[in-house]
């Protein structure tokens, strides 16, 4: 007899207007309690949060919500996408998160994002502190300079999935469980053409928040920062800069981990995240 395990995660599609256009957005949910909205990295999707969304301790305390940004995972690009060049901006990203959260009835959620998600939570903490109850930035930095020619990510003579996974593979920590390493890279291999590159427009250009992060008021919006020591995209130094610049923020470097903590080693990541979530629950 083979055993079957059914996960507690439920997936649905949300049809709503976003950024002035009808969209079909894929959403996953699990658990009950404080709403916790989880934001995936550039060029990936909700599957990165499979560990947290299967963690009984988390699910007893949080209503965990994750959604694929438009163009990502199982969310469609808007009609007419074939005539468009996808480029994520700070304003569109923030509006998407707030609109999707409101549509799901997630009242003042705790928001946790990684990489581009770790950047946008800084924007949310700064500009929309009234709409969220706190922010957790994973691999958060105020800005990243491109360190390779981004044009390689989207050209007809290079396979997009191969190049995206090839570029990011070293961002996974070296002692990550092999199954989780390759699961994480598989998500990158499945991204649509130009989507990772379009996200990096926000990450490397439009989303630069260096000159404003000091204005984040952690009394209004508590902020926690967790960063893997092997991340060379958003480095531990980038997070240290944020920690030293934003009064009241709390930060920690995660030993042995890389750029995708929740996906590359969910168990090890939970040992860092659980104390943060406990604090968040206490703050209400």
Partner 1 sequence: MNLHDRIVGMLPENVNADAHLVWRGRHLNTTFMLRVGEQEYVIAIREGRIASVTPGPSVMPEWTFSLLADESSWQEFWQAVPRPGFHDLFAMLKFRRLRMEGTLHPFMSNILYFKQALASIRLTKEEAAQ
Applying CB under 8 A, the residues found at the interface with partner 1 are: 147-148, 152, 157-159, 162-163, 165-167, 169-171, 174-175, 229-230, 232-233, 236
Contacts of 152 (CB under 8 A, 6+ apart): 158, 163, 167
Q: Which among 192, 205, 207, 212 has a CA at the least distance from the CA of 93?
A: 207
Provide the minimum distance between the beta carbon of 209 and partner 1 in the complex, in angstroms, as a whole number: 20
Provide the minimum distance between the beta carbon of 173 and partner 1 in the complex, in angstroms, as a whole number: 9
Looking at the Cβ atoms of 122 and 153, the one nearer to partner 1 is 153
Q: What span, in angstroms and rounded, lies between the C-alpha atoms of 240 and 78? A: 38
Contact between 38 and 112 (Cβ < 8 Å): yes
Provide the minimum distance between the beta carbon of 56 and partner 1 in the complex, in angstroms, as a whole number: 32
Q: Which among 250, 251, 252, 246 has a CA at the least distance from the CA of 217?
A: 246
Provide the minimum distance between the beta carbon of 116 and partner 1 in the complex, in angstroms, as a whole number: 17
Contact between 140 and 161 (Cβ < 8 Å): no
Provide the minimum distance between the beta carbon of 174 and partner 1 in the complex, in angstroms, as a whole number: 5
Q: Which segments within the chain are labelled E, that is strand?
A: 10-18, 21-30, 34-39, 62-67, 110-114, 134-138, 223-228, 250-254
């Amino acid at each position: 007899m083979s055993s079957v395990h059914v996960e507690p995660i439920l997936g649905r599609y949300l049809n709503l207007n976003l950024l002035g256009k009808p969209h079909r957005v894929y959403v996953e949910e699990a658990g009950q309690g404080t709403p916790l909205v989880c934001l995936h990295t550039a060029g990936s999707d909700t599957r990165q949060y499979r560990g947290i969304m299967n963690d009984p301790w988390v699910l007893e305390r949080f209503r965990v919500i994750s959604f694929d940004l438009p163009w990502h995972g199982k969310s469609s690009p808007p009609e007419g996408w074939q005539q468009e060049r996808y480029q994520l901006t700070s304003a569109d990203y923030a509006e998407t998160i707030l609109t999707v959260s409101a549509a799901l009835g997630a009242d003042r959620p705790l928001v946790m994002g990684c990489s581009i998600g770790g950047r946008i939570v800084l924007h949310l903490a700064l500009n929309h502190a009234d709409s969220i109850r706190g922010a957790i930035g994973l691999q958060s930095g105020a800005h990243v300079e491109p360190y390779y020619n981004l044009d390689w990510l989207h050209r007809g003579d290079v396979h997009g999935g191969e190049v995206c996974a090839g570029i990011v593979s070293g961002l996974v920590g070296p002692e990550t469980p092999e199954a989780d390493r390759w699961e994480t890279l598989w998500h990158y291999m499945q991204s649509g053409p130009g989507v990772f590159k379009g996200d990096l427009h926000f990450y490397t250009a439009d989303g630069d928040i260096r000159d404003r992060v000091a204005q984040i008021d952690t009394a209004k919006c508590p902020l926690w920062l967790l960063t893997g020591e092997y991340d060379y995209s958003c480095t531990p130094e980038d997070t240290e800069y944020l920690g030293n610049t934003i009064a009241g923020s709390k930060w920690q470097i995660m030993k042995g981990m890389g750029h995708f903590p929740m996906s590359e080693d969910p168990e090890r990541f939970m040992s860092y995240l659980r104390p943060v979530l406990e604090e968040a629950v206490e703050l209400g």
